[in-house]
Chain A
Amino acid sequence: MPEITYLEAISDGLREEMRHDSSVFCMGEDIGEFGGAFKVTDGFFEEFGANRVWDTPLAENAIVGAAVGAAVEGLRPVCEMQFADFIACGFDQLVNVAAKMYYRQGLAVPMVVRLPSGGGFSGGPFHSQNPEAWFLQSPGLKVVAPSTAQDAKGLLASAIRDPNPVLYLEHKNLYRRVKGDVAEGRYQTPMGELRLAREGTDLTVVSYGAMVHTALEATEDIDGASVEVLDLRTLCPLDRDGILESVRKTSKVVVLHEATRSCGVGAEVASLIAEEAFEDLDGPVVRVTAPDVPIPFSPPLERAVLPQVDDVKEACRELLAY
């Protein structure tokens, strides 16, 4: 198996699906001959042509809305938002048209919206957001957030083949930083199943996306404690059983995400544990997240806002000592 980057794994997954299924096509701004702002579709225009690699006008509602129309007619569109932040401009089509279509009319909408998300490189308030919680309040949307190259490819394949609208969060800070041995050809990573990133017995860190790597680094050696790290991979549907199983084993939980704090995935996971595993806890569920502020531009400000390795270490130490 060749070692490729997270970004190459996304390209590989998309290319494999497009080669295998002529109904799969991609659309988005600058994705054609230019290959996309991050080069995920580099070479696609040459291989698949302008029809299936549609360089769209700057019109996010038209991109998402046209994807809905094409999807209900039997195609499988994969939309690229240039940055996850710009889904705000196509939000209406996503939450009002795509998300509710099946519930209202029994009409399936198999489409994927790729969302280059996350901060850490001075992108500022409009190129750094982690908008996953926006979608979790909109029933009918599935949300995935891979952290490894293997899952980046496998979850994209699952998202494309799923008969529902799927938001695919690809963290920009993982694009070229993370590499992995990725199988050639087509394979799927199942949605709704978390990955045990590291097994442990003393404490569980629940995370997803780029923060999985932060969690692993931070808990590699905390005074000899055995720390389990869960990579949620899918945020909707959430692997509730997988989370609870780990909580029952370790009895202490830190939930870590880069997105802002209030009403986020961490809040959902914490309340799930409070409702279902209260008796198993040996301490409060602790959240390590960005505070409720926009993501600032200047490096020291951004570092102050995004969860750092030391923040996670400190939270784990405190909880272990509880």
Chain B
Amino acid sequence: MATTTARPAALDPHQHLAREAWLTVDDRRELMRYMLLMRATEERALTLYRQGKVPGSYYDGRGQEAVSVGSAFALSPRDRACILHRDLGAHLLRGVRPGRVLAQMMGRAGGLTGGRDGNMHFGDKDLGCVGMVSMLPDMAPVACGLALAFQMRGEPRVAMTWFGDGSTANGQWHEAMNVAGVRKLPVVFVLENNQYAYSTPNSREFVVDPIERAGAYGFHGVKVDGNDVEAVFQASAEACERARQGGGPTLIEAETMRMHGHGAHDDMSYVPPEMLEEWSRRDPIENYEALLGDAGEVDLDSLREEVTAELDSETDWALAQKMPDPSTATGGVFATADPVMGDGKAPWSRWAKEVSNA
């Protein structure tokens, strides 16, 4: 059942015309805006790291903006997400403000975990996100559980989770895929193949492309150009629709490249320079800018200015946040009330029209 689409050598605007049925001009502007917002937020965070304001190390998703933004754009407000550390765009799109992310990186009280966890280890429960842990892909079984709840209650909702190429070598990946297939759960697995698990290339993680395994688990698999935001979106929207209609899980493999080190401490000496050069020509933001610029639909200059202004004020806000009170470190280990998750933002224009389905 796995299907593989050829990676386009360059973006073809005409190929995207067919997607206008899915995406309005405003939608395209939003896709662009969240990719720019992710990159700008991560650039600010890296600056703060270099200024010594970020304890520990720093991890980002440079070059992978199209994967997180394109996939999360398909989610409805009531869908749930378990987001990976390369996917800040998905958090921003669901409604996390950049300032809280920067505060989180700096271990401030105003960060998403109030300093209890660091870097990208967060999820805003009020926006329908269950945050990741360092063990990968631990959120894949958890996403199955979210989907199980939707299925048991007969709700047309979807759980989406992201993991990398290295995760496909872990036993929990198999357990999650198998359970999802056996119960035909409404879950969308986004494998972002960024070529390296820390320093380990694909060739040492697996022999057969993981997308080929989808059929073995009894569900649909599709491979897309992970640097093409609309291609990722289209595959994700189709997968979510399939899940909502009872068609079960989908594995999407988005082929991309981690353009920074595993963390800020990693100089990537193991990556051949020509490989980085090749992928830098396929930058997801520059390519989408070219497409939107050619189409003349979106005022990119004003969009960039808007994002820069937002990051300026968000950075100021983050820097104004206090460090957490040490006396709070031992509190809040046990819950005293039942879980209540909120819904996420869903900027895709479809949801404004179909609130009843959301």
Q: Which residues of A contact B (CB under 8 A)?
A: 25, 51-52, 54, 56-57, 59, 61-62, 64-75, 77, 92-93, 96-97, 100-110, 139-140, 142, 163-164
Q: Which residues of B contact A52 (CB under 8 A)?
A: 152
Q: Which residues of B contact A64 (CB under 8 A)?
A: 141
Q: Which residues of A contact B152 (CB under 8 A)?
A: 25, 51-52, 70, 75
- Which residues of chain B (108-154) have a CB below 8 Å from chain A? 113, 116-117, 121-123, 125, 130-131, 133-135, 138-150, 152
What's the Cα separation between A106 and B175 when bound, in Å? Answer: 27
Contact flag A61-B175 (CB < 8 Å), given A96-B138, A105-B123: yes
What's the Cα separation between A186 and B140 when bound, in Å? Answer: 35
Q: Are the C-beta atoms of A110 and B339 separated by less than 8 Å?
A: yes
Q: Which of B125, B143, B175 contacts A107 (CB 8 A)?
A: B125
Instruction: Give B193 Cβ to nearest chain A Cβ, in Å.
Output: 23
What's the Cα separation between A144 and B341 when bound, in Å? Answer: 28
Q: Which residues of A contact B131 (CB under 8 A)?
A: 104-105
Q: Are the C-beta atoms of B142 and A65 separated by less than 8 Å?
A: yes
Q: Which of A25, A73, A139, A142 contacts B150 (CB 8 A)?
A: A73
Q: Are the C-beta atoms of A57 and B135 separated by less than 8 Å?
A: no
Q: Which residues of A contact B175 (CB under 8 A)?
A: 57, 59, 61-62, 65
A57-B179, A66-B148, A74-B338 known; 8 new pairs, CB 8 Å cut-off, are A59-B179, A62-B141, A64-B141, A74-B149, A109-B339, A142-B334, A163-B337, A163-B339
Q: Does B176 contact A (CB under 8 A)?
A: yes
Q: Which residues of B contact A (CB under 8 A)?
A: 80, 113, 116-117, 121-123, 125, 130-131, 133-135, 138-150, 152, 159, 171-172, 175-176, 178-179, 182-183, 332-339, 341
**A-B contacts, 15 listed (Cβ < 8 Å):** A62-B179, A65-B138, A65-B142, A65-B144, A66-B144, A69-B144, A70-B152, A72-B142, A73-B80, A73-B145, A74-B149, A93-B141, A110-B338, A163-B337, A163-B338
Binding site secondary structure of chain A: helix
Q: Which residues of A contact B146 (CB under 8 A)?
A: 69-70, 72-73
What's the Cα separation between A71 and B121 when bound, in Å? Answer: 20
Q: Which residue of A lies closest to B174 (CB)?
A: A59
Q: Which residues of A contact B134 (CB under 8 A)?
A: 96
What's the Cα separation between A92 and B138 when bound, in Å? Answer: 8
What's the Cα separation between A276 and B133 when bound, in Å? Answer: 37
Q: Are the C-beta atoms of A61 and B339 separated by less than 8 Å?
A: no
